[in-house]
Every structure is written in structure tokens, then in C-alpha cells.
């Protein structure tokens, strides 16, 4: 049985309809499998033994300098596919399971400073964008990342009804792990979103269901956000990504004494231990407390 025979219909239907995986997750699994086929020069599922898959993963780790996280990512994609193959009697056992995964590196979340965040927002607003709506929209996008901690895809998926300026809250529908949550608007974010919403209402184009959309009324894509933040980064001299702004939000929230359990809900974390990881980078409170300690 060939992977190219299984992937487009049978496994895709299972992944999306039964497992309820996101479309992007299925595409990532498919990409891993195609890479395996190129590396091994075979599409036959029965020929992909533990040793062959181990060689593929080891090659990625050594020759392609994969991080432990990348190794585990491909390992998990392969395991998901072969678990399905076992359930459907295509193979007798999962060849991925005997392969050990490397431990993840414990790295601190990357943030930008308070000063750089202010500089970034300034350039987002005062860059010479082609259209006025671009200025208010791009400023609002960067401010939303910074003041709400939304993930990249969560911001792209926001619909017009998800943002309540009256209620001063953002409804994140089916975020990571398919969880809904409500994110309160920070006072600094409210006037920025009001300005964007007013500019949006003046457009003569047909109204869009998406809160942030292109000049032509289409849903923004990740490549659009990348173009926007890279333009601002080049202008301001501040290197950042949307995920770094999410980390910065969490850091500043903890330094502002926001309760960890409240922050967990705002960030949409599954476990409190994930939120606690930001304690290591929220150093302002630690420095203030430490300066009061009499050591001698």
C-alpha cells in the first residue's frame, strides 16, 4: 500500500472528520510523509521500518541540524499516521514507537523591552503606508498582539462579531487545542481598535466578516502579517515576531502583578506550568524585591 494512495482521501478524511485535526496539522503530517518518501525513495508503507525511520530522523538531527523540537515534531507526525495504519490493518505495529525522542531544550521565551515595544508601535502608526486604512489596521494588528497576547492564527481568525468594543473584550473562537476563551481589552488597546474600526466603516468596499482584512476585503494570511511586521521591524530597528509580542505581553502582565491563574486563562494555556515559565523573564519585580534584602 502506497502513502500516495492513502494520504489524499482515506487518511485526510480520518484526520479532519474523526480526529478533528486542523487542516494545517494535516498538511504538516502530509509534508513530513512526503519528505520521508523522498529520503527513503519509497512510498510503500510496509517498507518504512523502524530502522529506516530512525535513519530519517537521525539524518535530520545530524545533517540538517534539527532542534529537539523539530525532531519531536516529525516523530509525532509519523506516529499519528502509523497509529492510523495500525488501526486499519495496513501494518501490524507502529514502527515509530521504539524510536526515542530527545528532551526539549529549556529556553527562555524571547521578548522585546518596554522601550522597544513603544518604538515598534510608533513606527507601525507613522510608517508611510500606501493607504490610510493600512496605517490604522497595521497599527491595530501590532497593538492587538502586544496588548492581548493573541497567537498569530487566532488574530487572523477574528471575525467582526468577535471583537466587542462596547464590552471591551475579544472572543477567541476555537484557539489552540480548540478552546474558546474571552480576552479582556487592555485600556491601551481600546482607542487603537476604535480608530481602526472607524476607518474600516468609511471604506466603500463590501463589508468583510473578518475583523482584520486586506484592501480587497479578503482574509489576511500569515504571509501578509509577515510582510507587515518585517516592514515595521526594518523601519524601527527592533527585531520582533508576533510570538515575541505574545511573550512580551505575558512578561509585562506578570511584572504588573497580574495573577498567574488569570494570565493562564487570557493566554489560553492548557497547563499553569506553561504560564509559570514567564516568571523567569519577568525580572522587574524580582529586582525590586532583591534590592530590599539585607545581605550583610
pLDDT at 10: 96
Give the Cα separation of 241 and 230 in Å (integer). 8
**Domain identity same for 42 and 137:** no
Q: Is residue 278 part of a domain?
A: yes
**Domain identity same for 79 and 134:** no
Task: Tell me the per-residue pLDDT of 126-135, one tens digit each, with 9 for 90 and over.
Answer: 999 999 999 9
Q: Is residue 156 part of a domain?
A: yes
Q: Is the pTM of this model over 0.75?
A: yes
Q: Is residue 109 part of a domain?
A: no
Check: CB of residue 77 under 8 Å from CB of residue 29.
yes
Query: Domain total for the chain?
Result: 2
Q: Is residue 295 part of a domain?
A: no
**Domain identity same for 189 and 80:** no
**Domain identity same for 135 and 213:** yes
Q: Is residue 100 part of a domain?
A: no
Q: Is residue 97 part of a domain?
A: no
Confidence of residue 204 (pLDDT cuts 50, 70, 90): low
**Domain identity same for 133 and 265:** yes
Query: Has residue 32 got a pLDDT over 90?
Result: yes
Q: C-alpha distances in angstroms, 254 versus 152, 168, 169, 248, 270?
A: 21, 21, 20, 10, 18
Domain extent, residue 223, equals 114-288
Amino acid at each position: 500500500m502506497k502513502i500516495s494512495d492513502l494520504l489524499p482521501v482515506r487518511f485526510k478524511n480520518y484526520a479532519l472528520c474523526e480526529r478533528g485535526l486542523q487542516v494545517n496539522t494535516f498538511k504538516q503530517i502530509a509534508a513530513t510523509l512526503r519528505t520521508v518518501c523522498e529520503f527513503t525513495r519509497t512510498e510503500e508503507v510496509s517498507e518504512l521500518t523502524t530502522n529506516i525511520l530512525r535513519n530519517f530522523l537521525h539524518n535530520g538531527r545530524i545533517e540538517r541540524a534539527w532542534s529537539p523540537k523539530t525532531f519531536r515534531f516529525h516523530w509525532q507526525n509519523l506516529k499519528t499516521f502509523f497509529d492510523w495504519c495500525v488501526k486499519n490493518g495496513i501494518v501490524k505495529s507502529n514502527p515509530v514507537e521504539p524510536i526515542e525522542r530527545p528532551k526539549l531544550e529549556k529556553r527562555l521565551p524571547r521578548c522585546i523591552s518596554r522601550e522597544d515595544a513603544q518604538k515598534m508601535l510608533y513606527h507601525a502608526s507613522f510608517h508611510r503606508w500606501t493607504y490610510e486604512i493600512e496605517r490604522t489596521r497595521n497599527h491595530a494588528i501590532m497593538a492587538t498582539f502586544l496588548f492581548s497576547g493573541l497567537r498569530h492564527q487566532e488574530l487572523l481568525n477574528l471575525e467582526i462579531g468577535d471583537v466587542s468594543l462596547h464590552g471591551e473584550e475579544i472572543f477567541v473562537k476555537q484557539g489552540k487545542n480548540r478552546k474558546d476563551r474571552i480576552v479582556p481589552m487592555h485600556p491601551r488597546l481600546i482607542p487603537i481598535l476604535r480608530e481602526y474600526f472607524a476607518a474600516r466603516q468609511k471604506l466603500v468596499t463590501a463589508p468583510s466578516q473578518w475583523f482584520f482584512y486586506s484592501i480587497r476585503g479578503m482574509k489576511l494570511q500569515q504571509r501578509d502579517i509577515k510582510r507587515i511586521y518585517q516592514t515595521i521591524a526594518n523601519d524601527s530597528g527592533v527585531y520582533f515576531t508576533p510570538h515575541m509580542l505574545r511573550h512580551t505581553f505575558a512578561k509585562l502582565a506578570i511584572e504588573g502583578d497580574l495573577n498567574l491563574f488569570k494570565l493562564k486563562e487570557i493566554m489560553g494555556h492548557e497547563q499553569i506550568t506553561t504560564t509559570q515559565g514567564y516568571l523567569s523573564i519577568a525580572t522587574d519585580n524580582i529586582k525590586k524585591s532583591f534590592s530590599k534584602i539585607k545581605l550583610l
